[in-house]
Structure 1
Amino acid sequence: MSVAAPAPQATEDRPAPPPVVPLLRRWRPHLVVAVIALGLALYVTHGLWRQPYTRTLGENVGDQAFFEWVLAYGVHLLRAGGDPFFTTMMNAPLGVNLAANTSITVDAILFAPLTILAGPQVTFATILTLNLAGSAFAWYLFLNRWVTRNRAAAAIGGLFCGFAPGFVSHANGHLNWTSGWIAPLVLWWLLKLTEDGRWLRNGVVLGVILGCGFTIAAEGLFFTALAGGVFVIAWSVPRAHRAQARRALPTMLAGLGVAALVAFALLAYPLYMHFAGPQTFAGTGFNQRHYAEDVAAYFSYSDRTLAAKVGLGNNLAANSTEQTSFFGMPLMILIVAAFVLLWRRADPGRRATLLALAITGGLFMVISYGPRLRILGHETDVPLPYALLQRLPLFDAALPLRFSLVLVGVFGVVLAMLADLLLDRADGPNPAHTPVAAALAFSLLPLFPLPLLTTERAPEPEFISSGHWKQYVPEGGTLTALPFATNVAADAQRWQAYTMARGGRQFRIPDGYFLGPDVGGAGEKGRIGAVPRPTDWLFLRASLYGYVPQLTNWDRATSRADFEYWGIDAVFLPAEITGSHGMLRHTAVELTATELLGAPERVDDVLVWRIRPGVDPIDR
């Protein structure tokens, strides 16, 4: 209000106050979108909900087992204490650096009551479902606040972001990457840093979000920070926003400084553990050239879409969990056409926003191609910018194809803008909008998600659930199922997770599915799982291929040394062994173990071989 405005006459009627809209009425559209998002998420994950204790994700058994273990470890932390970012419960005797893994620590602590009540299997399905629904709803709120006031347009963009092919693909086991709600939350408070007089409050909130986000989805947070920085810089350069950016710069820098201090205070120890702690490693255990996006993948369809159901699938991804772009040809054409249409109708300010979106999307698309150009499954000799980035800190631990997930947010913003234009009736209906609306529907319908595939998994042995295992392992001892836990046979890790969720005395396991250093210890190049020893391969080979070797005295001496290194007290063999694509070969493992360790004991529903000081079964 201007102080130079004339005062009203004393006899003048005061303006009527605006009508009070009931809270439920104001939130009704939001609730509708939330219910739709939750319904879609339950539809996608319903295979897990039918039998959460005996079914697992068919395309990524190992990652589900790892995250169930992390959720159970959260219960163990609350009950017995310990380090949230390092554990010796797995990979005995060396331990695992959880800060360098996707340990979702905040989720594990927050959902610990549910894990205690229903087990990590139900907690896993719950978080996965809420992540998908929450991502769609968070993007809807973000778009409704910062992009369009048309709630229907925001809902279209939000539901696309939450259930885009890349995120449904990552729902095959990745609780970290399905936490797509982190991106709009971070971007929301990044934009709020420009508010005058609130830099301290907004900076503190952003710092807390960054601190929590690091322990839920560190890689996604890194991508979000990069994309947010690129967008803000690209948005600030054009003349239309230059003056506004100059005015907001001091406030934003002050807020960013506060956010950095708060985040550093929260993350000082986990960052130290991540980069310099025990059992840390350099790079990643995955080949970055293999996990790079194919140019043709952007124009193709992923396995879990309606298009794939009618035969339009492909084999351009590294695996079914990494189908990160796969937007389809119609949507790619529509996005380009939408940019042109919106540009022609936009004022200079909106054009600057579109330009920033185009720069951000284009840059991350090129980065996703990895160090060398790949077309239709063939890697060419054409070098790309990622060849210069892949050895830099953080970039060396990222998988290039995942950078394409940034385009989900870019496309979501563009789709919301386009829908806003189509739904705008200020100037009356526009016949030209009809074909554009049809193109929008034609582009999005093939991307409608299909439910995640699930498969049977071995049930928890009574030997574990009854607690009879305690008769074979002392306090702090080591016990394992056969074969030893790996990404392709993770049952031993699952059985330990279920005991941690129940509380009480625990046991350690050798090996496990995690990321750790290669030969040489901390600081070495990363690898998947523990550095293998001969006895690992002995049992894994039997379970995967059914190979039963003729053991020699050298084999027995080597296994004796391996058991001593691990400090194993006993090993056991359940009736079934879950593998990556079905049950593994039980008989071959039993024959190998009997040849090596002698006759087993039958305890409940498992076979047990004692290994303890003074009683060496290899010599029996």
Structure 2
Amino acid sequence: MVVFAALALVWTFPLVRHLSTHVPGQAAGDNVSFLWNFWWMRRALASGLGFFYTPYLFVPTGTDLTLHTHTALPAFVGATMLGALPVVAALNLTIVTALILNCFCAYVLAWRITRDYGAAMLGGIVFGGSPYIAAHMNGHFNLTSAWTIPLFAVTVSEAIRGSTKWAVLAGLLLGATAYVDYYYVVYECVLALCIGGLASWEWSVAWRGPTERTRRLAKLVSGLILVDIAVLALITTTGGFNAQIGPIRISAHDLFNPLQAFWILVALLLWLQIRPRVDARRREAQAPTGMARAILIMAAVFLAAAAPLAWNGIGLFLRGDYVTQQYFWRSASKGIDIGTLVLGNPFQGLWGRAVQRVYQALGIDAIESTGWLGLAPVVFAAWALRRHLRKSNCEPDPMGDGATSRMVRQWSVIGAVFFVWALGPHLMVFGRNTGMILPQAVLRYVPVMNNARIPGRAMVVVYLALGILMAVAAAEWRLKSRGGQVALVAMAFVVVADYVPAPFPVVAMDRPAIYEMLRNRVEQGALCELPLGFRDGFGERGTFDDRVLFYQTIHQRPLAGGFVARLPRVVATAYEDDPLLAALLRLSDRRGQRNSPRPLPSAQVAADRLREDRITFVVLNRGAASPRLVEYVERVLPLTLIANEGERSLYLVLR
């Protein structure tokens, strides 16, 4: 734990020097929303309000937080065990603690397989220090708390052997994960199916070869491939064409559809040539009733632990407020770019910025599309896989009875499954969409699974599998080599040098005195920050400054607008139907809506709406506001100036 704690401090440096004043990230954004989560948990516990609904955002309606990235478990720790600390310090300490737990829990899983403490520590570093974690330290603090995944793998592996105790623990962990991040609940469910399926069944793939019938079909498919290649060449050279075949009109000006057809035909041709068959044979040691019992216990405990979330989710669905991604075939979120496997680590402290410039030139999202695994982990994982695929039963095995080889195969398959998932709906190569359709293109239409809408996040399990395989390789090197200890240290050094993101960017949380003044005012009521805006995971209305969420932790008043990951339609509709709030959103929008022909509310209408919406104070940020917004505030709204600070003006609404 000491080693992992030191690594966490190094990974986040210089955060340790600014625990109470800064948060990780390039700028204020999603990172501030997690800071707000911690403040709201304290507020909810102190006032007896339910955490999963807040009247402190989106005044006057409030909003449900069930589908929000609420990080309720870390926020609860920040409000109780760390409640005496400033909210910024509490958030930062939970981030650092999560980084330590990521390493430690992966270490526990790796030790269970290798029985080698040094090798297991290396596996923990690969998972806990991975570029995936470094990427999401820029603001997605829900995703940096990945420690439940390796711990869940340990409990599931024991539970499927028939242990009631471990099944209960697995269900509790799955329930706890729901209070950290919903993506990880989905991943853990799939991980449980993989572990159970691979442990209970012997899987094999047979290549049956072509028959006379499939050879004839293969010739037909080959001809179609040639036609498709000709179409691709024609579009590339001429810019496209229109054709009429009987009643059918063909318009081909884009390569995407012909590319999709090409890959479908190639896949069909390969299938006709090799005719693969997957066989599964149940292992005698695994009783089907024991596994079914474990699954039922896990499911029951999970539902009990996550009951508040499940109940709220059902309520949202019944009210028509359940919000999910609307998918279109070509416009879904991209997965990782396969080219990033060779481009280098974009978050490495020394050369990461140079790599990021390459990413930008290629149009690759460094946060969500990075697939860099590292040179040393890939080399040693490949060595372990190759060795155990052909290993004889007479060779030494740390776990005995060929168990290590089974674990290597198991985690190789798990890593492959999640890697294909992370590739997304279509294969991306150096910023280009190849048109190759992948399984996630269909998976995104499955209910519940479709809420894990960003496929690249499945890389978290790939890094776990990579860490396990590297730990196995390190353990066997130590057994077979006199200089095994030196080799282990060298491996760790190479991994740390490749992965370390320090110095990590941090952003200061400024505390304008005007908000301290606002907190001390005796008048009751909400605050409207201008420019006004609200945002969720799908878009923004008006102009939303994420810092206002932190400022709310200072002035402690309900706020118009805000951010939640999934905004119920009823809230957005209420803002659109409110004459004043809708007008302020239009005036706040710098993207063109400010010139809307819709008339602005008169002084009387504005006064009535401010009273109905329970807005008592207005803060105008002149540096961010449009001239029309400033003019409307100063000439129409019934306000009296309280104070000025820099570009901000604090107003009281006249009653």
TM-score band, normalised by shorter chain: 0.7 to 0.9
How far off its partner does 1:489 sit? 1.2
- Secondary structure class of the residue paired with 1:304: coil
Offset of 1:107 from its aligned partner? 1.9
Which range is displaced more, 603-612 or 206-215?
A: 603-612
2:154 counterpart of 1:188: yes
- Give the distance between the partners of 1:438 and 1:356, measured in 2 at CA: 27
Structure 2 segments unaligned to the other structure (5+ residues): 205-279, 394-401, 536-543, 574-580
In structure 2, what is the Cα distance between the partners aligned to 1:286 and 1:183? 28
Is the aligned partner of 1:80 residue 2:136? no
Alignment of 1:251-266 (within 5 A): 251-266=290-305
Pairwise CA distance, 1:453: 0.8
Question: Can you list the C-alpha shifts for 1:339-393, whole angstroms capped at 9, x where unaligned?
Answer: 1133333645444333322222222211212222211111232222111111111
Secondary structure at 2:558 match in 1: coil
Deviations 1:88-144 (A, max 9, x none): 221223332212111111222222146542222111111111111111011112211
Q: C-alpha root-mean-square deviation of aligned residues, in Å?
A: 3.8
Partner of 2:515: 464
Q: What residue number does 1:171 align with?
A: 137
Deviation at 1:258, TM superposition (A): 1.9
* Alignment counterpart, residue 372 of structure 1, candidates 423, 426, 446: 426
The equivalences for 1:567-586 within 5 A come to 567-573=614-620
Per the TM alignment, residue 435 of structure 1 is displaced from its structure 2 partner at its CA by 9.3
Unpaired runs of 5+ residues, structure 1, are 1-33, 500-505, 525-531, 578-583, 616-620
Query: What is aligned with 2:245?
Result: none
Matched residue type, 2:168: V
**1:608 and 2:574 matched:** no
Q: What is the CA deviation profile of residues 395-421 of structure 1, one whole-angstrom value per residue up to 9, with x for unaligned ones?
A: 221111111221011101100000001
**Equivalent residues in 2 for 1:377-526 (5 A)?**
377-398=431-452, 399-425=454-480, 429=482, 445-457=497-509, 459-466=510-517, 468=519, 470-472=521-523, 474=524, 477-484=525-532, 486=534, 489-499=545-555, 506-517=556-567
Q: Could you tell me whether the CA contact under 8 Å between 2:83 and 2:90 is conserved in 1?
A: no
Measure the CA separation in 1 of the matches of 2:612 and 2:387. Answer: 67
**Residue 340 (structure 2) pairs with residue 297 (structure 1):** yes
Letter matched to residue 555 of structure 1: L
**Counterpart mapping for 1:128-207 below 5 A:** 128-144=95-111, 146-194=112-160, 198-199=163-164, 201-207=165-171
**SS at 1:424's partner residue?**
helix
8 Å contact from structure 2 (residues 343, 372) kept in 1: yes
User: CA separation of 1:181/1:443 partners in 2, compared to 1, >3 Å: closer, same or farther?
Assistant: closer
Residues 1:552 and 1:183: Cα distance change in structure 2 (over 3 Å): closer
Mapped partners of 2:173, 2:84: distance in 1: 28
CA contact (8 A) 1:140 1:158 kept: yes
Are 1:47 and 2:94 counterparts? no
Structure 1 residue identity aligned to 2:584: T
Does the alignment pair 1:539 with 2:595? no
Give, in whole Å, the separation in 1 of the partners of 2:197 and 2:3.
Answer: 35
Distance 1:323 1:369 in 2: 9
Does the 8 A contact of 1:171 with 1:321 survive in 2? Answer: no
1:141-174 superposed Cα distances (whole Å, 9 cap, x missing partner): 2211x21111100000011110100011111122
Letter paired with 1:283: T
Equivalent residue letter for 1:74: M
How far off is 1:447 after superposition? Answer: 2.4
Return the alpha-carbon distance in structure 2 between the equivalents of residues 238 and 147 of structure 1: 19
Q: Give distance in 2, aligned partners of 1:156 and 1:222.
A: 27
Report Cα offsets for 1:590-617 as digits up to 9, x if no partner: 56643554775143745222335xx4xx
- The superposition leaves residues 506-552 of structure 1 with CA deviations (integer Å, 9 ceiling, x where unpaired) of 53212111123475669x9xxxxxxx9341242353xxx9x997999
**Counterpart of 1:375 in structure 2: which amino acid?**
V
Q: Which residue, 301, 306, 324 being the options, matches 1:283?
A: 324
CA spacing shift, 1:377–1:245, aligned 2, 3 Å: farther
User: 5 Å matches for 1:222-261?
Assistant: 222-238=186-202, 246-261=285-300
Partner of 1:423, secondary structure, is: helix
Specify whether residues 135 and 471 from structure 1 end up closer, same or farther in structure 2 by C-alpha distance, changes over 3 A only.
same
SS at 1:99's partner residue?
A: coil
Task: Determine the C-alpha separation between the residues in 2 that align with 1:280 and 1:515.
Answer: 13
Q: Secondary structure at the match of 1:202?
A: helix
Q: Work out whether residues 347 and 353 of structure 2, in 8 Å CA contact, stay in contact via their aligned partners in 1.
A: no
Corresponding residue SS for 2:306: helix
| Counterpart for residue 30 of structure 1 | none
Hey, what's the Cα distance between the residues in 2 that align with 1:275 and 1:318? Answer: 37
Aligned mate of 1:124, from 85, 91, 94 = 91
SS at match of 2:133: helix
TM-score, structure 1 as length reference: 0.77
Would you tell me which structure has more strand in proportion to its own residues? 2
* In structure 2, C-alpha distance between the alignment counterparts of 1:334 and 1:537, rounded to whole Å: 57
Q: Please give the residue correspondences for 1:347-362 in structure 2 after superposition, counting only pairs within 5 Å.
A: 347=393, 349-362=403-416
2:209 aligned with 1:209: no
Matches of 2:571 and 2:57 in 1, distance apart?
16
Instruction: Provide the residue aligned with 1:24 in structure 2.
Output: none
Per the alignment, residue 391 of structure 2 pairs with: 345
Q: Contact 1:372–1:381 at 8 Å: present in 2 too?
A: yes
